[in-house]
A and B are shown apart, each in its own frame.
Chain A
């Protein structure tokens, strides 16, 4: 009998008590161990197992694991090791048999990764997680379960750190700790070896700073850092860890965003970016991450050297101005300085910045009220233009790509824009769209008429020969269409006509505008050097390409089989005709027609079929005299044969842009028809005619239409075109381009809009960030709309109520008028003699003193030229009842709804319900009454005035209500609007003031005044670093008031906030303000104040 069997018999009774499998497990293990362990050791082993099983109720499970694992570990551990092992198991089992089981089960595999001597350390780490409760026991068991796979990838020491993290999470959430531990093996398995340690280091930082983010980090972290250059990952993670240690909760989002941003940057830049970020992190951890976040955007504008300069400027804010907030805003691109710097350094020129300039330039050149817009806008209209990146025109406006970054210098790129514009303007100026069918050119006699007859004859003959009936004739809509109709291959003739016409425009431009010639030349060369290779083209396409290159003034780039030189020579000679002085669009058409006859006979075979290679052409081709192909020369013959490639026109040079003469003519035709100024035969165009044009036009690529539904698409398309034609030409379309709120605003309609949903015009304004000492560019959005109309009765009611006061103020105001006549004394000449002075003079003269005879007076009529804007606070707090307000100004509980509009609405609803019962007098009511009084007074004096109210919620929704525009006449409508002045939301004063400044600035008056009536400090959601901060808002408002002063506007603040003195002193500095102590006096006070202000 073996010792194993012997043992199993010995413990049979004990084993039997623990379920069915245990004896078998025991026997199997004992058999396996028998040859490896000496007798005493085996006994001890067996005893340890039995003891384990007996140690607690469910300990037999651990014992089972013990027996099962033993054969696997005995080799590694040896006899002594086995003893330690079972001792550890026994200790664990005292805490929890579950833990012990997990420990035992994992041991064989774990031993593949660690030394036997480390078993103790390994188990202790697991033990650390156990705090006696079942959740901790489960976690600890989980630790043992995942250990084998984790230890494959990380060291025991690292595992210890994972345990640290998990352990720290247990204080918050066991669930989270469990998830982390569960996912850890797969995370570490996927992480490359060098990243594992740094990954953990950052994990620890996150766990400390914002434990909840750990899950996200474990989920997304590995993916996020994948995009970072492998050698730099550790640095990045360590940087992120340092940042997180300082900024806490913000750390992880910053890490995540910055990692994403970094991932989009070229790998070779990562080291440099990180070094810079590390430098920044010393002074401002946030700035360093913001720097990385903005890197992709900045690099889209700047090259590497420029980027370094840009970053350096930001770092100076940090290190020299010691302004971390400023640097953060800078790198977050929320600072005007950052944008200015970007614009300064960037070679790229944005259309939005030069659009006005180019518009005026184009207007000057063409003499038409052309607009300049982004090509994207044209594409959106779906009227046949599809290229967003090129320049083009549809006859009324010039469309340019949204930015140009062709060259390394800003000026060069601007010149590119200028050449684009000049070329498009040239099409208008030099008449690209005024083609008339069959008319003679200046150099080529018109042959279209003859050709048309020939084509028609051929058509009839062919029909007769083939017996296929002729397609029904549809009268062409435009001359251009009629011209194109004559050609079998419309795409080819359009391509040729485009080349000819562009060549003509270039030549003409060069002649007319000596100054632009240089840049035109630069662009032609640039284009010639970036043409697609001729070698890949079919022969006919290559022919066109060569003509185009010749027209770019780059004959040296032409490639053509020598044997076919003659045809190219003829084509170029013809093309030169349009370069002659005086050439018109008729010449271009004739030239295109002549070249067509050559080109159409050239098969579009690939180079391999062509007769000989595409060689550089000989130099005699550089100087070809202009001349139309002779009649007798005939069509090319002896052409190479072979399978033809699909023909396509060579791509348009960028600076010439899309050319669609057929569509342009169609649109102007439609327009003329609409305006009734068409002087041709006035039969209206039929739908059939239009569809015919669109279907055939080579200017619209069929790919744009969904197949099968061609008719419907064309129909929709036609509608777009007709709509477009109905629009007035040129300028008016400017408003939707508003780039900073330049929309000119006349008083739009003064009545009747009450039924309509108010139309909102949006304006963008910068906001002052006092910490950064810089503007946040286009930070706020102000929506201007006309105030709704209420009941006009309020106005009359107020007048009745304050009858006495009204009369008094009116009288006072009327008294201001005579002040406007100024008497100038002591003149040598004037309207009236000053008797005193005359006598004095006489006396002096007799006395021989002989002063000058300055004895006249003159009254100079000084015209009163005052414009005033009243800006009323319509914040929710103005809903405050006056009595209440009197009682409690120390509990300044302004509206703050935690960014949650619902809370606000609840509050408002409750408030309204209460007030409906018995409306007490509110601050807003006093504002309204004061408005009525001041309006009455102002009407007496005749000053221009505007009344505006503001409120809103958040930076992108500042509401600006127009009650009366500066140039609007007083009317019943305005009475009604006054009634609708009511409390709305918050008080973001800065943008409202800026918008009022904008309005005053556009208004022509000598004296401009802005009076702001408010009930408290500026306040809004996000108008400050956090909810409690008041500084930011005060500073921004102050800045806005200073802006007013700079524009020559006198700002003045009236507040009913008795507490106002503290912040007003700061906000107003040397700007006038007044705190109206007794609220009820506001209606009386306002006119008085105005009188002082306006007569100063």
Chain B
């Protein structure tokens, strides 16, 4: 396959060649690593459930890196990771592939799933509920013993390469009648639940990711805990670890903690003035 071509300032790589080569920072909270490894070994599709910014994507990256090392082939290429961010206009052909006009002819282009299937990659469908219903049905034959991807327009079936695994993420937080995962879909996955880490671990993550000193990291984690108490009492979602890391980064670079929390947490979380003020009061109680 095409090698990564490095040009001035940026790197261009084909999606199927993307591999995590450096260990991403991931702090295991429970037995999720072991579970995932086992699932991968058994080629059981995995559904990652949890609120936004709780580390689902990071976990997949981490696992993809980890599986690469565990491959036994050492420096050899490991498991590629193909990530698809789902959105409501995501159609089946966006995933599988389509014909494009090229000159007087048409040319078939593989979609990300097809590429993952061919290359034995981990295919990570982020926020799967956002995708249109018909796309979710498409992945059904891939997720059971058949491990097949039908390419309807070409009249072909793709059999998945050995390393292929389908992983999806799903945020039950904005569950509504419209955006719920169909049972026929969800019952094809094992589900690993993610939640925001407990205070100590979260503080550790914040400190590590943002470089902020442990005391501040601990305060940020404390703040997170308090803000999450407001979930469903004014807030739709609790503050994500990701936002906390942002706040930590700003503080680390010299922004005052209150201000950093305001821009990266308060304003990011809600537009409701009353709720904003409440959170700001919590911020000002915690940070001097």
The complex places the Cα of A515 from the Cα of B257 at a distance, in Å, of 11
Contacts of A731 in B (CB 8 A): 233
- In the complex, the answer to whether A364 meets B274 with C-beta atoms within 8 Å is no
When each residue 838-865 of chain A gets 1 if its CB lies under 8 Å from chain B and 0 otherwise, what string results?
0000000000000001000000000000
When each residue 249-288 of chain B gets 1 if its CB lies under 8 Å from chain A and 0 otherwise, what string results?
0000000001000000000000000110111011111111
- In the complex, the answer to whether B288 meets A365 with C-beta atoms within 8 Å is no
Stretch at the interface among A355-363, A483-491, A648-656: A355-363
Q: Tell me, yes or no, whether B111 is within 8 Å of chain A by CB.
A: no
Contacts of A514 in B (CB 8 A): 219, 286-288
Contacts of A365 in B (CB 8 A): 226, 229, 282, 285
Q: Tell me, yes or no, whether A517 is within 8 Å of chain B by CB.
A: yes
Contacts of B284 in A (CB 8 A): 515-516
When A364-B227, A514-B287, A853-B101 are in contact, do A369 and B233 touch as well, CB less than 8 Å?
A: yes
Smallest CB–CB gap between A423 and chain B, Å?
Answer: 12
- In the complex, the answer to whether A515 meets B285 with C-beta atoms within 8 Å is yes
When each residue 326-367 of chain A gets 1 if its CB lies under 8 Å from chain B and 0 otherwise, what string results?
000000000000000000000000000000110011011111
Smallest CB–CB gap between B194 and chain A, Å?
Answer: 20
- In the complex, the answer to whether A363 meets B286 with C-beta atoms within 8 Å is no
- In the complex, the answer to whether B274 meets A363 with C-beta atoms within 8 Å is no
Contacts of B277 in A (CB 8 A): 357
Q: Tell me, yes or no, whether B214 is within 8 Å of chain A by CB.
A: no
The complex places the Cα of A369 from the Cα of B219 at a distance, in Å, of 23
List residues 513-544 of chain A with CB under 8 A from any CB of chain B. Answer: 513-518
Contacts of B225 in A (CB 8 A): 367
Q: Tell me, yes or no, whether A512 is within 8 Å of chain B by CB.
A: yes
Cβ-closest chain B residue relative to A730: B233
Contacts of A422 in B (CB 8 A): 285
When each residue 352-393 of chain A gets 1 if its CB lies under 8 Å from chain B and 0 otherwise, what string results?
000011001101111111000000000000000000000000
Contacts of A357 in B (CB 8 A): 274, 277-278, 281
Contacts of B275 in A (CB 8 A): 360
Smallest CB–CB gap between B275 and chain A, Å?
Answer: 6
Q: Tell me, yes or no, whether B151 is within 8 Å of chain A by CB.
A: no
When each residue 209-235 of chain B gets 1 if its CB lies under 8 Å from chain A and 0 otherwise, what string results?
000000000010010011101100110
- In the complex, the answer to whether A363 meets B229 with C-beta atoms within 8 Å is yes
When A365-B226, A512-B222, A514-B219 are in contact, do A360 and B233 touch as well, CB less than 8 Å?
A: yes
- In the complex, the answer to whether B286 meets A513 with C-beta atoms within 8 Å is yes
Q: Tell me, yes or no, whether A1035 is within 8 Å of chain B by CB.
A: no
Q: Tell me, yes or no, whether A418 is within 8 Å of chain B by CB.
A: yes
Smallest CB–CB gap between A942 and chain B, Å?
Answer: 15
- In the complex, the answer to whether B229 meets A515 with C-beta atoms within 8 Å is no
List residues 23-77 of chain B with CB under 8 A from any CB of chain A. Answer: none
- In the complex, the answer to whether B229 meets A367 with C-beta atoms within 8 Å is yes
Smallest CB–CB gap between B106 and chain A, Å?
Answer: 11
Smallest CB–CB gap between B220 and chain A, Å?
Answer: 12
Contacts of B279 in A (CB 8 A): 360, 364
When each residue 135-148 of chain B gets 1 if its CB lies under 8 Å from chain A and 0 otherwise, what string results?
00000000000000
- In the complex, the answer to whether B229 meets A364 with C-beta atoms within 8 Å is yes
- In the complex, the answer to whether A513 meets B229 with C-beta atoms within 8 Å is no
The complex places the Cα of A939 from the Cα of B148 at a distance, in Å, of 46
When A357-B274, A364-B279 are in contact, do A418 and B233 touch as well, CB less than 8 Å?
A: no
- In the complex, the answer to whether A515 meets B288 with C-beta atoms within 8 Å is yes
Contacts of A517 in B (CB 8 A): 288
The complex places the Cα of A356 from the Cα of B225 at a distance, in Å, of 20
Main secondary structure of the interface of B (DSSP, over half): helix
Contacts of B258 in A (CB 8 A): 515
When A514-B287, A515-B287, A517-B288 are in contact, do A364 and B282 touch as well, CB less than 8 Å?
A: yes
The complex places the Cα of A513 from the Cα of B223 at a distance, in Å, of 10
The complex places the Cα of A422 from the Cα of B285 at a distance, in Å, of 9
Smallest CB–CB gap between B5 and chain A, Å?
Answer: 26
- In the complex, the answer to whether A518 meets B233 with C-beta atoms within 8 Å is no
Smallest CB–CB gap between B149 and chain A, Å?
Answer: 21
Smallest CB–CB gap between A414 and chain B, Å?
Answer: 9
Q: Please, how many residues of chain B have a CB less than 8 angstroms from a CB on the other chain?
A: 25
The complex places the Cα of A369 from the Cα of B258 at a distance, in Å, of 26
- In the complex, the answer to whether A361 meets B281 with C-beta atoms within 8 Å is yes
- In the complex, the answer to whether A360 meets B230 with C-beta atoms within 8 Å is yes
Contacts of A356 in B (CB 8 A): 274, 278
The complex places the Cα of A158 from the Cα of B151 at a distance, in Å, of 114
Smallest CB–CB gap between B199 and chain A, Å?
Answer: 11
- In the complex, the answer to whether A361 meets B222 with C-beta atoms within 8 Å is no
Cβ-closest chain B residue relative to A855: B101
Cβ contact of B234, chosen from A360, A367, A368, cutoff 8 A: A360
Smallest CB–CB gap between B96 and chain A, Å?
Answer: 14
- In the complex, the answer to whether A361 meets B219 with C-beta atoms within 8 Å is no
The complex places the Cα of A517 from the Cα of B287 at a distance, in Å, of 10
- In the complex, the answer to whether B281 meets A418 with C-beta atoms within 8 Å is yes
* Candidate in A357, A366, A418, A422 with the most chain B CB atoms within 10 angstroms: A357
List residues 849-892 of chain A with CB under 8 A from any CB of chain B. Answer: 853
Contacts of A418 in B (CB 8 A): 281, 285
- In the complex, the answer to whether A366 meets B229 with C-beta atoms within 8 Å is yes
The complex places the Cα of A365 from the Cα of B98 at a distance, in Å, of 53
List residues 97-126 of chain B with CB under 8 A from any CB of chain A. Answer: 98, 101
The complex places the Cα of A237 from the Cα of B274 at a distance, in Å, of 49
The complex places the Cα of A361 from the Cα of B279 at a distance, in Å, of 7
Smallest CB–CB gap between B213 and chain A, Å?
Answer: 14
- In the complex, the answer to whether B285 meets A513 with C-beta atoms within 8 Å is yes
The complex places the Cα of A361 from the Cα of B281 at a distance, in Å, of 7
The complex places the Cα of A515 from the Cα of B258 at a distance, in Å, of 9
The complex places the Cα of A837 from the Cα of B98 at a distance, in Å, of 20
Contacts of B222 in A (CB 8 A): 512
The complex places the Cα of A686 from the Cα of B222 at a distance, in Å, of 43
Contacts of A367 in B (CB 8 A): 225-226, 229
Cβ-closest chain A residue relative to B101: A853
Contacts of B226 in A (CB 8 A): 364-365, 367
The complex places the Cα of A367 from the Cα of B274 at a distance, in Å, of 18
Contacts of B288 in A (CB 8 A): 514-515, 517-518
Smallest CB–CB gap between B212 and chain A, Å?
Answer: 15
Cβ-closest chain B residue relative to A518: B288
Contacts of B281 in A (CB 8 A): 357, 361, 418
The complex places the Cα of A82 from the Cα of B282 at a distance, in Å, of 95
Contacts of B227 in A (CB 8 A): 364
* Candidate in A356, A365, A518, A731 with the most chain B CB atoms within 10 angstroms: A365
Contacts of A368 in B (CB 8 A): 229
- In the complex, the answer to whether B219 meets A364 with C-beta atoms within 8 Å is no
The complex places the Cα of A418 from the Cα of B278 at a distance, in Å, of 11
When each residue 258-292 of chain A gets 1 if its CB lies under 8 Å from chain B and 0 otherwise, what string results?
00000000000000000000000000000000000
The complex places the Cα of A518 from the Cα of B288 at a distance, in Å, of 8
Smallest CB–CB gap between B202 and chain A, Å?
Answer: 15
Smallest CB–CB gap between A309 and chain B, Å?
Answer: 26
Contacts of B287 in A (CB 8 A): 514-515
When A365-B226, A514-B219 are in contact, do A360 and B286 touch as well, CB less than 8 Å?
A: no
Contacts of A513 in B (CB 8 A): 285-286
Cβ-closest chain B residue relative to A360: B278
Cβ-closest chain B residue relative to A516: B285
The complex places the Cα of A517 from the Cα of B286 at a distance, in Å, of 9
Smallest CB–CB gap between B51 and chain A, Å?
Answer: 16
The complex places the Cα of A513 from the Cα of B284 at a distance, in Å, of 8
The complex places the Cα of A513 from the Cα of B257 at a distance, in Å, of 13
Contacts of A364 in B (CB 8 A): 226-227, 229-230, 278-279, 282
Cβ-closest chain A residue relative to B233: A363
The complex places the Cα of A513 from the Cα of B277 at a distance, in Å, of 17
The complex places the Cα of A424 from the Cα of B230 at a distance, in Å, of 18
List residues 818-849 of chain A with CB under 8 A from any CB of chain B. Answer: 829
* Other A-B pairs beyond A361-B282, A367-B226, A515-B287, 4, CB < 8 Å: A360-B274, A363-B229, A363-B234, A515-B286
A-B contact pairs, 8 of them (CB 8 A): A360-B275, A364-B278, A364-B282, A365-B285, A367-B225, A368-B229, A514-B286, A516-B285
The 8 closest A-B pairs by CB, nearest first: A360-B278, A367-B229, A364-B226, A516-B285, A513-B285, A515-B285, A515-B284, A514-B288
